[in-house]
Structure 1
Amino acid sequence: MADESLIKIDKPEEEVDDAYSNDDLFKISSWGADLSFRELIARYDDNELIKPELQRHYVWDRVEASRFIDSVLLGLPVPSIFLAKTSEEKLLIIDGYQRIMTVRDFVKGVFSDDNTQFVLSNSKRINERWRGKSFAQLSEEEKRKIRNTTIHAIIFMQQHPAKGDTSMYQVFERINTSGRSLLPQEIRNCVYQGPLNTLLFELNENKKWRAMWGDENRDSRMRDLELILRFFALSDDYILKSDDAPYNISLKKYLNEYMGEHNVPSEIDGMREKFKRTIDFVYANFGETAYHNISPSDSTKYILNLSSTVFDAVMIASWKVVLEGFPARSPQEYQKLKMEVLRDESYQKILSQETMRSANIRRRVNDMFAALRG
């Protein structure tokens, strides 16, 4: 995984602190259930218990994992987990993935972190009766104890509104107890499972996109995935053309809603083609500095960090150029036109101030588009 410190994105403050209170009134039912690890493992293997797609990388080391197995064998209480019941009658793991996978891995005999044999650590923190042992080396009574240990699950389901999973996003955001605060796209990846989520992972492997992102390895916090989603969402006619677009949008809320509404198979091929054609154009004409702003001290040079608002302008304007088929220019001409736009003081203001005003989104796209089309 790429070290998240290697890639920096300049985001206006309103995007960084984009907390919102959803005014929708939800009807959520919740209940408790005591599930044995035997049942949880079986459900997981039958694809009825779902982990977030590529979001929850196994993060416990062998000592931490062994310590948890040790606690189970000692009969110590196991913390509750949170599950969400989906419309497909499956259970989505909201909180508790590390605990479930640790027991499953131990029973199966393979440690997820490095795909080696899972034997308990020889650490002094582990009871000496079990140090260095695999599941197969335990007594039959100890094996049954692990399989039959129950863990309390709090299960919830959104009943109203019937469409969308916005309540699930907020529940996940509030109750998740992993060791770090999850970024919005990490939560979306957990909540909005489906074809659009899978497409984002596919598109994120595009070599030209990775070159412009600045790292061949995907970002461990999914900020690269969020930019791809942002391109689709902000290039939507609802933002660029509709009179119904709000004066200001909450980017976090809007991306949540967009992902929920467009997570359908019928839209995937068109979105894939749109992204590929745009990336091909942007990479050919702007190269690896495509999404960078100019330096305040030297307008002939680009700053090191990516700019989220320059990304909007270049990507969406380029898509419009591709779509409308204007006569081709040389990369040098396109880069000169981009520089001229970025040198405009008023344009710099809409790149950094009130960036989520619908009018400012439209202007930063349209001004760049007008320049590129000549």
Structure 2
Amino acid sequence: METDYSDEIILPEERDDELSSEDLFNISSWGADITIRDIVASYEDGDILKPELQRKYVWDKKESSRFIESILMGLPVPSIFLANTPEGFKLIVDGYQRIKTIYDFFKGIWTGDGSVFSLSNSEKINPRWRGKTYATLSADDQRRFRMYTIHAIIFEQKTPKDDSGLYQIFERINTSGKSLNPQEIRNCVYQGKLNDLLFKLNKNPEWRILYGEAEENSRMLDLEFILRFMALSNTDILSREIKSISLKKELNDFMSNNKNKNADFYDSWEETFNRCISFVATHFGEDAFFNLKNDFSAIRKKFYPTVFDSIMIATKIAVERGFTTEENLESKRLQLLQDETYRNSITAGTMKIENIKTRIDKVLTYIFGMTLADE
């Protein structure tokens, strides 16, 4: 079974949730001209980090060759953007394709296919360098290549003491290919043990079936849903004296605050997620996170985020309260999906606190015979 994503059921208020922070950022930025020799050494030593975007090197040999030729000709190339991290690393915000091309040419192996990195034999490449590797360049050309400088714009957030500014910089500055979506940016900004756990949980075979795709989503939408379950499981959200929450901010804050906790924290979340997914798969089946069509005539084969979060969070609460059953609960879930109040809570104003509370409570009532108020 493969879920249809041609009409993705994510409301604009969730996907296009723009952060409007009242913080004034104190971000220092400066320019630096870095030689290729230093770029190669820093990348090799791990001092310059590639964001973990699950994106492969995408330049073809002609693009790579033209870029290297520009350097050998002494032409200017675009600046790269680097962000200083609290740990002292430099995170690549923009310029990964350029840095990797430089590194590959210097080392002699092209990432594209693992072959020897020789410049293209295309007529677009100057005959002087056509078909050349770094090792077969003249000594003067090798020196010119090593000593060529690339302008880097480096920035560092001083205040506030979090990664909020870095997130917005990634959101606004990154220019490579498609715009990064929120989870791809989180994956860059909040690298750590929590991020590693998300990737691990995303491979859970039962989760893959329930999500509806055997392969991990290339844009990390599946990772975001796991994070959504974790962040919205904080029932303190339901007691806040505000009308609604920003989903983007809640997910950012959860990743930022929990990116490097002790091992028990991650072990507990791994056990919780796997236990809840196993319960859902056993008692609801592979349609568990789908909704009914508007006329209730059939299941609509689309992953429904608000059905997902309400069922998963309610299951977590019920299991933690000791709920057990041998009963197949799918018939109760189908009754729930016809409840007008529940349907309203999963289709409009989904980040209003009252609606989050309502849809979790409805699952608890219909399926588990309990309420949020129960102790």
1:125-180 deviation line (CA, Å, top 9, x unaligned): 22222222222222222222222111111111111112x20110001111111121
Q: Deviations over 1:195-229 (max 9, x none)?
A: 11111111111111111122221111111111111
Shift of 1:114: 2.5
Q: Which residue of 2 aligns with 1:261?
A: 257
4+ aligned runs moved over 3 Å, structure 1: 3-9
Contact 1:65 1:102 (C-alpha < 8 Å) held by counterparts: yes
In structure 1, distance between residues paired with 2:13 and 2:283: 30
Q: Distance in 2 between matches of 1:279 and 1:111?
A: 41
Match of 2:300 among 295, 298, 303: 303
Contact map agreement 1:321 1:372 (CA 8 A) in 2: no
Aligned letter for 2:200? E
Give secondary structure in 2 for the equivalent of 1:147.
Answer: helix
Give the residue type in structure 1 aligned to 2:244.
N
The structure 2 residue matched to 1:250, chosen from 242, 246, 249, is 246
Is the CA contact 1:4–1:221 (under 8 Å) kept in the aligned structure 2? no
Q: Does 1:207 align with 2:202?
A: no
Structure 1 equivalent of residue 184 of structure 2:
186
Paired residue for 2:45? 46
1:317 to 295, 314, 319: 314
Letter in 1 for 2:25: F
Distance 1:353 1:265, change over 3 A: same
Q: Which runs of 5+ in 1 are unaligned?
A: none
The residue number in structure 2 matching 1:148 is: 147
Residues 303/103 of structure 1: CA separation in 2 closer, same or farther (3 Å cut): same
Check if 1:340 corresponds to 2:335: yes
Q: Structure 1 8/219 Cα, relative in aligned 2: closer, same or farther at 3 Å?
A: farther
Aligned residue pair count = 366
How many Å separate the matches in 1 of 2:221 and 2:241? 25
Report the CA distance between 1:28 and its aligned residue. 0.9
Provide TM-score, normalisation by structure 2.
0.93
- State the Cα distance separating 1:194 from its structure 2 match: 0.7
* 1:258 alignment partner AA: F
**1:19 lines up with 2:18 in the alignment:** yes
Equivalent residue in structure 2 for 1:327, among 316, 324, 328: 324
SS where residue 301 of structure 2 aligns? strand
Amino-acid identity (%): 49
User: TM-score with structure 1 length normalisation?
Assistant: 0.93
What are the superposed Cα offsets for residues 248-285 of structure 1, whole Å, 9 maximum, x if unpaired?
A: 11111221111101112322111111111111111112
Give the whole-Å Cα distance in 1 for the aligned partners of 2:168 and 2:47.
Answer: 23
Q: Which residue of 1 aligns with 2:72?
A: 73
Give the one of 324, 349, 361 matched to 1:366. Answer: 361
Q: What is the match of residue 176 of structure 1?
A: 174
Gap change, CA 1:329 and 1:50, over 3 Å in 2: same
Q: Compare 175-184 and 111-120 and name the one that shifted more.
A: 111-120
Matched, 1:273 2:268: no
Cα distance, 1:48 vs structure 2: 1.0
